[in-house]
Amino acid sequence: GFAKVDHHRPIRTGMPEVIYCEGKTTEQVAKIFNSLAASGVNVLATRANAEHRQAIFAAEPRSVEHVAARCVTLKQNDLAPRPGRIGIVCAGTSDLPVAEEARVTAELMGNQVDLVADVGVAGLHRLLSQHHRLQEASVLIVCAGMEGALPSVVGGLVGVPVIAVPTSVGYGASFGGLAALLGMLNSCSPNIAVVNIDNGFGAAYVATLMNRAY
């Protein structure tokens, strides 16, 4: 068939496969969703447009839609609680969809999440006044578009790993998120690693793997 769902993945990596909806037909997405649901795991579909989301809901009425995050989830298992908390920080209101994708992913994967919105570096006091929330996180996800400076500043304030997510927010010389991406890759704060532009899902996935007991 058109898809070989990786049912073996939970055993190999501890996490089920996730459905990336872009470029798939609604039929394909719905079928893969059903196949994963039937295997008993928690299911997540990302980058799902309205048609994808409707098709999934028709195929699996227990599924839950997350409009801002463009995701659909099906929670079938309660995962063992993870030890720490994932802090998600976003620079501006326009970065919220990416932050929401990260939040939905992280919560489905069993994490406690704290989302701090609209604390861009042009008004530093907003970030500094949330310093205690940054301190309580065991790993941070920082989403920012335009110049993407927020991860560097946050990185200098904390002693935990920072997953930086460039967003495509901006115009002109932001070149669809390239400016933010390059900025984050060149950060002078050493505790930063970067994922793809707008990839809230990947950031949450990596953060989840860090949020574990030994």
Q: How far is the CB of 178 from a second copy (least distance, A)?
A: 7
| Strands 85-90 and 139-144, sheet pairing | parallel
Identify whether the C-beta of residue 45 lies closer than 8 Å to the C-beta of residue 37.
Answer: no
Task: Name the burial class of residue 112, with classes exposed (0-12), middle (13-18) and buried (19+) by CB atoms within 10 angstroms of its CB.
Answer: middle
Q: Is 18 a binder of ligand AMP (CB under 6 A)? A: yes
Q: What is the closest distance, in whole angstroms, from the C-beta atom of residue 49 to a second copy in the complex? A: 13
Find the binding residues for ligand AMP in span 72-91 (CB under 6 A): none
Q: Examine residue 33 and tell whether it contacts ligand AMP (CB under 6 A).
A: no
- Cβ contact 64:73 at 8 Å: yes
Contact between 20 and ligand AMP per CB under 6 A: yes
- Judging by beta carbons within 10 Å of its beta carbon (0-12, 13-18, 19+), is residue 169 exposed, middle or buried? buried
54's contact among a second copy, Mg ion, ligand AMP, none, with CB below 5 to 8 A by partner kind, is none
* C-alpha Rg value of the chain to the nearest Å: 17
Task: Give whichever of 39 and 94 is closer to ligand AMP, judged by the CB atom.
Answer: 94
Which does residue 84 bind out of a second copy, Mg ion, ligand AMP, none, counting CB within 5 to 8 angstroms by kind?
Answer: a second copy
The smaller minimum CB distance to ligand AMP, of residues 81 and 96, is found at: 96
